[in-house]
Chains A and B, each alone.
Chain A
Amino acid sequence: MTENDTEREPPGIGPRDWKSHPAYVSPEYKSTVLRGPTKPLVPITHSLSELTGPVYGAECVGELDHDLTRNGIKDGEPLGERMIVSGRVLDEAGRPIRNTLVEVWQANAAGRYIHLVDQHNAPLDPNFFGGGRCVTDDEGRYRFLTVKPGAYPWGNHPNAWRPNHIHFSLFGPSIATRLVTQMYFPGDPLLEHDPIFLGTPEIARNRLISKFSLDVTEADFALGYIFDIVLRGPDQTPMET
């Protein structure tokens, strides 16, 4: 390490692209009305407080944490359609974000969460937990094994159903790159009725939908889906060539 390195500032992070992210108050999604901030956000110049963030590497990931088909087993395999979801975590310049923690949680194949608050009248699966995590590799790649989550009803409006989805949580290099999102499935007829998905600016919605991939699919084992995730940064637009 040179002396310069010890004085090095972390790289800058470009702005949150509000054309890509949902607004705080989105009246069709009823609980946003009393919960989303209503005053304008105050601009902030990033300091170390925003340009640093927690680093969770491979040491915090257990052997089965990436495999939701096995990490909740009690006396058999979980029911449902086995699937693989894999993708790359990239920045806006397309560079891989390495060694970053990816956390997921989801309903079981029947559309029921293990969470105690979920009272949906669909069966729990004694062999499925629904939570997992992994760390991206040198190419920014992550991979989970799971079963396809079921749709489930919610109380937003009469006959409201959430489309099939997997919740994702990512850190990236700093607090400014933090992202919590949901991954959806191609062709889901519930998408056009879902105020959470539709709360996203139209131009950005398709970025939330995974792609079926025969390459990721494993013969006689599990269907494959690709879901690439783009986090904020860097703060300078590379030269177009």
Chain B
Amino acid sequence: MSHKQTPSQTVGPYFAYGLTPGQYNYRFAEVASGSMADDKVAGEHIRIIGQVLDGEGVPINDAMIELWQADATGRYAGDSDVRANTGFSGFGRFGTGTDEENRFIFDTVKPGSVENGAAPHVSIIVFMRGMLTHAYTRAYFSDEVEANANDPVLSSVPEGRRETLVAMRNEEDGNVTYRFDIHMQGDAETVFFDV
């Protein structure tokens, strides 16, 4: 390769007015937010919520989470997947500095299976002050026991660490919430992939 990759650098503590301005009340239109699916988007409407915890278990208040997923039929938006369903962008962003518990909150639809044998999942990118290079992980769904057991990526993860990739389903008053905490370090460190 004639050209070398430009190195990554930290997103720093001051990304909010550039990358998540609407969420943080800056007067600048934003391209993505935690509200990924309005009522018109087909599928089971769910909320994915969680904290990002440092090596001492303290919630991090200046992380930015990006979420990328297929729609309810398992199709990605955009040119790369020519089967795209254009009604759903599939991309969300949320900073952990506005919720009082420093949670990220995505209102979206549950994705379908993208490929034969693949369990439904969302892709998650983690940025923060104190990380010079971003981290990549996936969240699977706790109610997809059989599909999860057959998923090639999940199966490639050491068995004892797989549960760090499974978001826990909770239903209350007809609202479906999946809890997915991201542990940066420690015994329960979330599996991050060399994407």
A185 at the interface (CB under 8 A from B): no
Contact with B along A1-35 (1 / 0, CB 8 A): 10001101010001111001111101001011111
Cβ–Cβ < 8 Å partners of A33 in chain B: 55
Interface residues of A, dominant DSSP: loop
Contact with A along B12-56 (1 / 0, CB 8 A): 111111110100101111011000000000000000000000111
B128 at the interface (CB under 8 A from A): yes
Tell me, rounded to whole Å, the shortest Cβ–Cβ distance linking B151 to chain A: 10
Cβ–Cβ < 8 Å partners of A121 in chain B: none
Contact with B along A65-109 (1 / 0, CB 8 A): 000000100000000000000000011111000000101110100
CA distance in complex: A197, B183 (Å)? 26
Interface residues of A, count at CB 8 A: 91
B11 at the interface (CB under 8 A from A): yes
- Category for how many chain B residues contact A: 35 or more
Contact with A along B145-173 (1 / 0, CB 8 A): 00000001100111001000000000000
Contact B7 A208 (CB under 8 A): yes
Which A residues fall within an 8 A CB radius of B?
1, 5-6, 8, 10, 14-17, 20-24, 26, 29, 31-39, 41-56, 60, 62, 71, 90-94, 101, 103-105, 107, 113-118, 129-133, 167, 169, 173-176, 178-182, 196-197, 199-201, 204-205, 207-208, 229-232, 237-238
Known: A52-B76, A196-B9; 13 extra A-B contacts, CB below 8 A, are A22-B133, A29-B130, A35-B128, A39-B189, A43-B193, A43-B194, A44-B195, A47-B118, A55-B77, A55-B78, A130-B18, A131-B18, A231-B6
